[in-house]
Amino acid sequence: MTTIAVLLPCYNEAASIGKVVAAFKEALPMADIYVYDNNSTDNTAERASSAGAVIRQEPNRGKGNVVRRMFSDVEADIYVMADGDETYDAAIAPELIRKLIDENLDMVVGTRVAANDKSFRAGHKFGNHMLTGLVKYLFGYGFEDTPIGQVPTGNRRGGFIVHTWDAGSGKELQKMEGHTDIVSSAFSLDGTKIVAANRDGTAHIWDVESGEELQILKGHTRTLTSIAFSPEGTKIVTGSFDGTARIWSLD
């Protein structure tokens, strides 16, 4: 069964969050709805809880902090991210999800359309145009509404593979399978080993030449945030969202 999580990062959205949660419960009755309170000073969390949402906290303010926390905490096959300010139409979420599935896409982004000139504050409109223009400049044609919250994304478990390539010829050297969701990887300095960090908190070490899996490092309880070999290649250091760092000796 496909699992869907609606992720709603909020800061001082008490006036609207109850309506937003109710709208997504109606549009996606099978989904779990999470409200991440980004250290609000009003009763956003209480209003969201009363509406039936699961409440989580991210005390470090800032959209980047709360988005990173959401995707690290919540496991689902499909994520729908929106804001709690009632500027997104929850009713179109099923249509966006159908497109994601039917066309085998990684992400679908909706574009907000202002009903009138007062729909968005002037500062928000300026920031949106500036950020969207920067994305288009750096990456070519981009989104029309980059800060948009209505974003269904897929989580492709079980299909993540490490590929190694020869930089000169472009020839694929090895394909290393068995990961659940890779977040980063690193080579040893001598180029004989590669380590891949997984979202489940584990790290897999492979022999580059043979593609053989050498070791699995287990101990972290949350997604790894960083991973690196020691200069001599006999140790690996890992950092995790669980707040710990570990040093591992290789067998």
pLDDT of 227 reads: 84
Chain-centre distance of CA 8, in angstroms? 13
Q: How confident is the model over 110-130, as a mean pLDDT?
A: 49
Tokens encoding 187: 């080579």
Considering the domain architecture, whether residues 119 and 215 belong to the same structural domain is answered as no
What CATH number did the domain enclosing 36 receive? 3.90.550.10
> CA of 230: how far to CAs of 112, 188, 189, 212, 234, in Å?
48, 8, 8, 21, 7
| Boundary residue ending a domain (137, 154, 171) | 154
Give the integer Cα–Cα distance in Å for 20 and 2: 23
Backbone angles phi, psi at 10, to 5 degrees: -140, 140
Per-residue pLDDT tens over the stretch 77-89:
899 999 898 888 8
Considering the domain architecture, whether residues 29 and 82 belong to the same structural domain is answered as yes
Judged by phi (left if over 0) then psi (alpha if -120 to 50, else beta), residue 86 lies in left
Q: Which residue has the higher pLDDT, 170 or 237?
A: 237
| Boundary residue ending a domain (133, 154, 175) | 154
Considering the domain architecture, whether residues 120 and 173 belong to the same structural domain is answered as no
Considering the domain architecture, whether residues 115 and 17 belong to the same structural domain is answered as yes
Q: How many residues would you count in the chain?
A: 251
Considering the domain architecture, whether residues 85 and 169 belong to the same structural domain is answered as no
User: Does 200 have pLDDT greater than 50?
Assistant: yes
Q: How confident is the model over 90-100, as a mean pLDDT?
A: 89
What CATH number did the domain enclosing 212 receive? 2.40.128.630
Considering the domain architecture, whether residues 185 and 110 belong to the same structural domain is answered as no
- Point out the least confidently predicted range of 5-14, 57-66, 158-167, 210-219: 158-167
Q: Is the pTM of this model over 0.85?
A: no
Nearest to 27 by CA among 75, 80, 77: 80
Residue 38 and residue 58 in contact, taking contact as beta carbons nearer than 8 Å:
yes
Q: What is the dihedral of CA 9, 95, 92, 157, to 10 degrees?
A: -10
Q: How confident is the model over 193-208, as a mean pLDDT?
A: 82
Tally of domains in the chain: 2
Domain membership of residue 210 as a residue range = 160-249
pLDDT of 43 reads: 96
